[in-house]
Amino acid sequence: MTDQTAPPGLGAESLTTADGRPLKAALHRAQARAKRRAFLLVLPLLAFVLLTFVIPIGIMLFRSLNNPDFVSYSDIDSGTEIPVMQNVQAWFAANPQGTEPDEAAYAALAADLVHLKEIKAQGSVGTRINYVLPGSRSLFTSSARDAAKLAPPYKEAVLALDEKWADPAVWQAMRSSAGTITGDFYILAADFERDDSGAIVRTAEKERIYLYLFWRTFFLSGLITLICLVLAFPIAHLLATLPLSKSNLLMILVLLPFWTSLLVRTTSWIVLLQQQGVVNDALVALGLIGTDGRLTMINNQTGTIVAMTHVLLPFMILPLYSVMRTIKPSYVRAARSLGATSWTAFRRVYLPQTLPGMGAGVLLVFILAVGYYITPALVGGADGQLISNMIAFHMSKANWSLAAAIATMLLFSVLILYWLYDRLIGIDNLKLG
Amino acid sequence: MSQAKAGGNAAFVEFSHVQKSYDGVSLVVKDLNLSIGKGEFLTMLGPSGSGKTTCLMMLAGFETATHGEIRLGGREINNIPPHKRGIGMVFQNYALFPHMTVGENLSFPLEVRGMDKAERETKVKRALDMVQMGNFINRRPAQLSGGQQQRIALARALVFDPELVLMDEPLGALDKQLREHMQFEIKGLHDRLGITVVYVTHDQGEALTMSDRVAVFNDGVIQQLDSPDELYERPKNSFVAQFIGENNKLPGTVEELDGHKCLVRLANGELIDATPVNVREKGQQTLVSIRPERVEFKPEMMPKGAHTIRAEVKDVIYMGDILRARLKVAGSDNFVMKMRNTISQTKLAPGETISIGWHPQDARALDPV
């Protein structure tokens, strides 16, 4: 076709519509209305997610880095923010880290303590220091009580009130808290602390709890995920291959736990597994164990594993089932007819095809397990606690910053695992239903 | 085909008194006896639920026979698991492994047989070239069209050189044109490789085109086992006559019976000539079956002394190569006559009354339905 005969709009370079407008612009215009309408449809959901998810997580991230309790005191009665400990902060600003507190430092401290007493902020400030240096809250509250009596020379006067003020750790704790933005809570959450000179060092071995709890949380979650996978695979296969009438009944049995309260399910595990419980009684009755050899299966890790596996099992079965249902029996038959034993046919033909379902189930169960709280709290005892129980503990103690720091670390470690999963298996391989 | 027929006495595959029941109440396959010669192309044809696929699955080893013996190459295979039977199989929806490339799919049966890599590659390449798919070795099944997948499935079933290949409605998912093309291709492969093929289909056209012999199944029983031309021209009962090709059915009573000829009186009193097949005595009820293309309406085409009956033209449909006239005969108006579309062909008009007749051997007096 020559150029003369080519109708407008068929030029190779820029396509135009019949009336000469660029095709891309015309297409954009034609679709703009539909796009706007689609956006309006999702707008409420977007606002909801923003309000209930994005903003709270942002606040949590902020909280983990921001704690101004040593810098200002929010007076609930008047609703104002009153600056506190300003004199000590000024001294910190004037003297570099490692300077021995001199008379001027103690004078500043005395003035600040008096101010704290006036506005009744000694508790809040003491608590803030207590986070970084346990046991220092009472130092502030008791010293502030008698601060009015302090007279120069301040160093002796303050030390007479409480010997602990001479401890460089106290001064270090105050110095590291003298700002609104601090990484201290991450340092704590990773089982580190600042030594007297302000350097970051590992905490004493017996006080390290968080990293171990993280490790335990991931280990137990991994174990629970594995047990769920092993248990769910045959059930899902059965569900996918049984005739519809039978598989429906089985599906109801699988879903039944979903319709029961989590508390009821967990409590029934207590009934079953406790020392005088059904399982132990049965074992004793069968003569497998003696009365004095009753197994401890609840209020420890075993309890957490058993109860959480039970609770999370449907989340593994459902994605597996939805994938297995689409795998036609002719694949395995084809493999068999081609000379594969049933094991080879399963391993090389069936199993790889269930991978999207396994991936979805594993990811779902693992991520749910990592953040699980109620079940370990009820049946976990001391060694069955997970990191979320620690988060809840700090929240109950109003240590929001540390709770937020641990939660943020948990969030990012899950994100890293998610990223790893994407790199290794590929997220588009996921199939949830 | 000559080889196939000679194979009748040295059966390669043999079903002997095979019965199959799924529920213990009814039989899906009732006393099946069938021998298939080496190198034969045998088609199991029948409506769905007739037991043909069950027979194929029993031969492949995916179903067990409730009773009876299945022999392959003289050896009883009832208790041999499918992977040890060495039978190639092409499935209805190809069943190509979606997570493997074409090359890996073809390599699979060779790998499980422990063949080394070099030999595998040679065989895979040869099999792909055989179906003209050599350039597709690294594609995934999802990237192929239906026809291409079909060729790969065929190549995979043949790559490990099985002597027997089973095909379960392999062309069912293809469009008409491609299906006809693949029929010739499968037939060509069969002739070239000398393999034995057992082919299951419900498409009678497919069965007639490809097979050496066709077993027509209905209700778990083989109704007739014959070559395509025998089956088409000399159906042994009403079911086969109706199932294969288009057929006109005229119910009536046997008036005269004399060896190879009989006279049948239709409901309106007219007499027609027929060949007795399933009738034994005078006065018996029968169904006479006549192929539409064997019906004649020009006196010079009919044999001497043949009975003719009156027919009224209802309509004529132009179908390109043929003209299809619907006639009213003996009170029923779905009697069909096919005429070749030649220049000199007489044009019939609706409402016209004509006399029709046929060679007595083309009208078969069968069992009444």
Q: Answer whether B82 sits within 8 Å of A336, measured CB to CB.
A: yes
Question: Residues A249, A393: one domain?
Answer: yes
Q: Which residues of A touch B60 (CB under 8 A)?
A: 333, 337
Question: Residues A112, A197: one domain?
Answer: yes
Q: Dump pLDDT digits (tens) for A264-294.
A: 888 899 999 998 889 999 999 998 888 888 8
Domain span including residue A31:
1-65
Give the contacts of A387 (CB within 8 A, at least 6 positions apart).
A210, A213, A214, A216, A217, A370, A406, A410
Is domain B246-366 classified as CATH 2.40.50.140?
yes
Residues in chain B whose Cβ is within 8 Å of chain A: 60-62, 81-89, 91-93, 95-99, 108-109, 112-113, 156-157, 160, 166
Q: Answer whether A341 sits within 8 Å of B95, measured CB to CB.
A: no
d(CA A395, CA A392): 5
Helix, strand or coil, per DSSP, at residue A58: helix
The tokens describing A207, both together, are: 């006080």
Residues in chain B: 369
Residues in chain A whose Cβ is within 8 Å of chain B: 328, 330-331, 333-342, 344-345, 348-349, 352-353, 355
The tokens describing A378, both together, are: 């009820």
Q: Answer whether B109 sits within 8 Å of A339, measured CB to CB.
A: yes
Question: Residues A236, A381: one domain?
Answer: yes
Question: Residues A325, A353: one domain?
Answer: yes
Residue ending a domain, choose from A16, A43, A65: A65
Whether the complex's predicted ipTM is more than 0.90 is answered with no
Q: Which CATH class is domain B2-238?
A: alpha beta
CATH, residue A354: 1.10.3720.10
Residue ending a domain, choose from A65, A92, A110: A65
Taking CB atoms within 8 Å and a gap of at least 24, the contacts of A123-126 are A124/A69, A124/A73, A125/A69, A125/A70, A125/A73, A125/A84, A125/A85
The tokens describing A86, both together, are: 């300003």
Where in chain B do CATH 3.40.50.300 domains reside?
Answer: 2-238
d(CA B125, CA B115): 15
A182 to A68, A137, A177, A202, A219: CA distances (angstroms): 9, 19, 7, 18, 30
Residue ending a domain, choose from A22, A42, A65: A65
What is the radius of gyration, based on Cα positions, of chain B? 24
Question: Residues A135, A49: one domain?
Answer: no
Q: Dump pLDDT digits (tens) for A335-351.
A: 999 999 999 999 999 99
Question: Residues A403, A261: one domain?
Answer: yes
Question: Residues A195, A314: one domain?
Answer: no
d(CA B37, CA B3): 8
Look at the block and give the residue holding tokens 């409402």.
B351
d(CA B179, CA B209): 12
Question: Residues A282, A162: one domain?
Answer: no
Q: Answer whether A336 sits within 8 Å of B62, measured CB to CB.
A: yes
Nearest chain B residue to A344, by CA: B112
Question: Residues A219, A179: one domain?
Answer: no
For CA atoms B231, B235, B240, B245, the dihedral sign is: positive
Question: Residues A137, A27: one domain?
Answer: no
B326 to A157, B57, B292: CA distances (angstroms): 125, 42, 10
Q: Answer whether A333 sits within 8 Å of B89, measured CB to CB.
A: yes
- What's at A68, amino acid-wise? P
Over chain B (369 residues), the average pLDDT of each successive run of 10 is 45 93 91 93 92 93 93 92 93 92 95 93 93 91 92 93 93 87 91 93 90 94 93 89 88 86 87 86 88 86 80 92 91 88 87 89 83
Where in chain B do CATH 2.40.50.140 domains reside?
Answer: 246-366
Confidence check: pLDDT of A109 > 70? yes
Question: Residues A268, A329: one domain?
Answer: yes
Confidence check: pLDDT of A183 > 80? yes
Q: How many domains, chain A?
A: 3
Question: Residues A9, A132: one domain?
Answer: no
Give the contacts of A420 (CB within 8 A, at least 6 positions apart).
none
- Which residues pair with residue A369 across a beta bridge? none
